[in-house]
Chains A and B, each alone.
Chain A
Amino acid sequence: MAEIALRNIVKRFGSLVAVNNLNLHIRDKEFVVLLGPSGCGKTTTLRCISGLETPDEGKILIDEEDVTNKRASQRDVAFVFQLYALYPHLTAYGNIAFPLVAQGLSKKRTRQEVDRAAQILRIKHILNKKPRELSGGDMQRVALGRAIVRRPKVFLLDEPIGTLDAKFREEMRAELKKLHVDIGATTVYVTHDQVEAMSMGDRVVIMNLGVLQQVGTPHEVYNKPKNLFVANFIGSPGMNFISCKPLRGPGGKLALRLPVVNTTIAIPDETQTIIIDKKKEEKDLVLGVRPENVIFSRKEKSNHLQTRVYVVETMGSYNITDVRLGDETIKVRTAPSILPEVGETVYISFDPQRISIFDEETGDSVV
């Protein structure tokens, strides 16, 4: 099938740099998700791959062939638009058949291919309906049908389920993943929803302000975020951050001093070594802890920090408790049975094996 390589892609709209020097290699049959907040350049990147936009600088290769200056119609890519972009005056059948008609396929073959696509997407019963008679989910399926009927080398999906309601989105997520497995085409999927990205992607590409932040498997981007942006963007809720500074304690051991609460917390030996090796001993750092790695207790314990409960959000299978640590709010994930009162004094500590440390100045990960 197809490999995609983006080399030093730059795309500007007037003075705005939508994509800034992007390098990315997408392997054959891979499901890659471009993730980022709105305006981060993910859709522009996708449109550059499709040929609907031409990058100002850089090269795009599909299967090692330079397609940078080729039109979308010459690239053998299928694109599913955010708002479906179905032809309003054609029936669902006409929409799905459109790329085949454009190819000049015989009527009989066209019908066979459309039927096959309709079978996969389970939309045989709506083939005679026009787009305005269809629900959002069905329109989405028709748009997918139009994409898969051609058996393209590359699938490009631009927030394809962003407009569906939450329940249905979950369903479609699984369906899309299954579709990718069935068809096996290289797929690039754009979304701003990190749950979608984490659940569907083989690899996740995180972008912000046109710049690539991190590429990795969902596990990697979650557990080893490369910088503060990724750490905060991935995860729901995102990572907690507390300003800190390394400090030599008794016995020459390195600890982290948290100015907000005027306390010092111990860190494992290997973390100390890394901080020293990376020459960050003198720098202002940021301690990052995921909500589930905050140890929570309602009773006083040694090495725990005393805090006060601010808000409790019940999520069903877990609770998120916001506690105040000086001026900072720390989100703590607790078991659903733990329901502290607002204003109650509680105690927290951080799992030393699961903390991240970032350089405050650059935002880059240290540990």
Chain B
Amino acid sequence: MSIFKRSKENRTRNGQVYYRPMRDITLLRLFIFPTIILLIVINVFPLFWSLFLSFSRYSAKMPNIWGKNPRMIGTANYSRILTDPDIWIRFITTAKYVVLSVGGEMILGFGLALLIFRSNFKGKGLITTLLVLPMTMSPVIVGLMWQLFYDPNWGSFNYLLGLGRIDWVSDPARNLYSIVIVDIWMWTPFVMLLSIAGLSAIPRYLYEAAEIDRASWWLKFWKITLPMVYPLLLVALIFRTIEAFKIFDLPMGIVGRGAVAPRLLALHLYNVSFVTWKTSYGSALGYIMLIIIIATTSIFIKYLKKAKQ
């Protein structure tokens, strides 16, 4: 499409055709409107549509008959979810997963960052790049790969750790932890990278001042390193909490969504919405998860704002 618009009054002089250039604002709209329309279609509309559905009875598998499918039922979906004794187990399992995986990632990631940042050896860059590799892989592939590692018969995980025939995948008492391990393996580098960025931003003179002030290494860590890296650690915490809370691909890859799968909310949401096709029930569950995530992150963000001051 030409950005020059032909208009009648400009067709002048010696029969030559002149074009009037398009105004800036028109050009601006031309670029912005497609994006806005795309956002409305794939983000905003589904958001409100699913909110509407969560107050109705609806299955995406059935033909749409207004008044029947969907049929408004008020807050019935929500009360069903919140009174289901099973759902609390799912909440607790998910919370456990979040705390264990994010906690592990924060401690290990920050620890690794300290180790790498403080040390000065040849191939430091290479080691850092290698450590970051897990993060760059597709979660589903990671899940399938670890499923092979974990195989009790011929997987290398048990073999390398000398653990005998432990079933990491289909034992419901254990498979949550096997997913936690993979999550930590995959996402520790993310925390490490952010921590290294934070550590590099600490001016050296602060440590010199602390050295002059005769601070012990612990005091330097506690009063300088930690408070200075804290905002970036919080950012890592926010990202990882959101991700871990809605974790789906890793458990799906490692354990699958069957009866032995750990009772994680996202897996349940998938089963409800796309296996049994209770779309409206799934929408309500999705909204409850959204509210929990927003509430949790807004607490973190509040701390982040405070830390930045």
Contact = CB atoms under 8 A, between A and B. Distances in A.
Interface of A: 50-52, 71-73, 77-79, 81, 83, 85-90, 98-99, 101-103, 146, 150
A83 to B, nearest CB: 7
Given A81-B205, A101-B219, A102-B219, A89 B227 contact: yes
Nearest to A143: B209
Contacts of A81: 205, 208-209
Contact of A85 (B209, B214, B216, B223): B209
A89 B228 contact: yes
Contacts of B209: 79, 81, 85-87, 146
19 contacts: A52-B208, A72-B212, A73-B211, A73-B213, A78-B212, A79-B212, A81-B208, A85-B203, A85-B205, A85-B206, A86-B209, A89-B227, A98-B223, A99-B213, A99-B215, A101-B219, A102-B210, A102-B213, A102-B219
A178 to B, nearest CB: 23
Nearest to B212: A79
Interface string B77-103: 000000000000000000000000000
Contacts of B214: 73, 99, 102-103
Contacts of B210: 87, 98, 102
A98 B211 contact: no
A98 B208 contact: no
Contacts of B212: 50, 52, 72-73, 77-79, 99
A156 to B, nearest CB: 8
Interface of B: 203, 205-206, 208-216, 219, 223-224, 227-228
Nearest to A52: B208
Q: Which 10 pairs of residues, A with B, have the shortest CB-CB distance? A: A99-B213, A73-B214, A85-B209, A102-B215, A85-B205, A79-B212, A72-B211, A89-B227, A102-B214, A98-B213
B211 A52 contact: yes
A90 B227 CA distance: 10
A89 B227 CA distance: 7
Contacts, number: 57
A74 to B, nearest CB: 8
A153 to B, nearest CB: 13
Residue from B209, B219, B223, B228 whose CB has the most chain A CB atoms within 10 Å: B209
Contacts of A150: 213
Contacts of B223: 87, 90, 98
Contacts of B213: 73, 98-99, 102, 146, 150
Given A85-B203, A85-B206, 12 more contacts: A52-B211, A79-B209, A79-B212, A81-B205, A81-B208, A85-B205, A85-B208, A85-B209, A86-B209, A89-B227, A99-B214, A102-B215
Contacts of A146: 209, 213
Contacts of B224: 87
A104 to B, nearest CB: 9
Q: Which of B208, B214, B215 has the most CB of A within 10 A?
A: B214
A79 B208 CA distance: 9
B183 to A, nearest CB: 32
Contacts of A73: 211-215
Contacts of A101: 219
A92 to B, nearest CB: 14
A62 to B, nearest CB: 14
Contacts of B228: 88-89
A87 B216 CA distance: 16
A186 B206 CA distance: 24
A87 B203 CA distance: 10
Nearest to B219: A102
A77 B219 CA distance: 19
Contacts of B211: 51-52, 71-73
Contacts of A90: 223
B88 to A, nearest CB: 40
Contacts of A79: 208-209, 212
A146 B209 CA distance: 10
Given A71-B211, A89-B227, A90-B223, A102 B216 contact: yes
A232 B265 CA distance: 79
Nearest to B203: A85
A83 B208 CA distance: 12
B103 to A, nearest CB: 24
A253 B228 CA distance: 74
A77 B213 CA distance: 9
A87 B206 contact: yes
A98 B215 CA distance: 8
A83 B227 CA distance: 20
Contacts of B208: 52, 72, 79, 81, 85
A52 B211 CA distance: 8
A98 B209 CA distance: 10
B48 to A, nearest CB: 43
A81 B211 CA distance: 13
A146 B210 CA distance: 11
Contacts of A50: 212
A201 B213 CA distance: 25
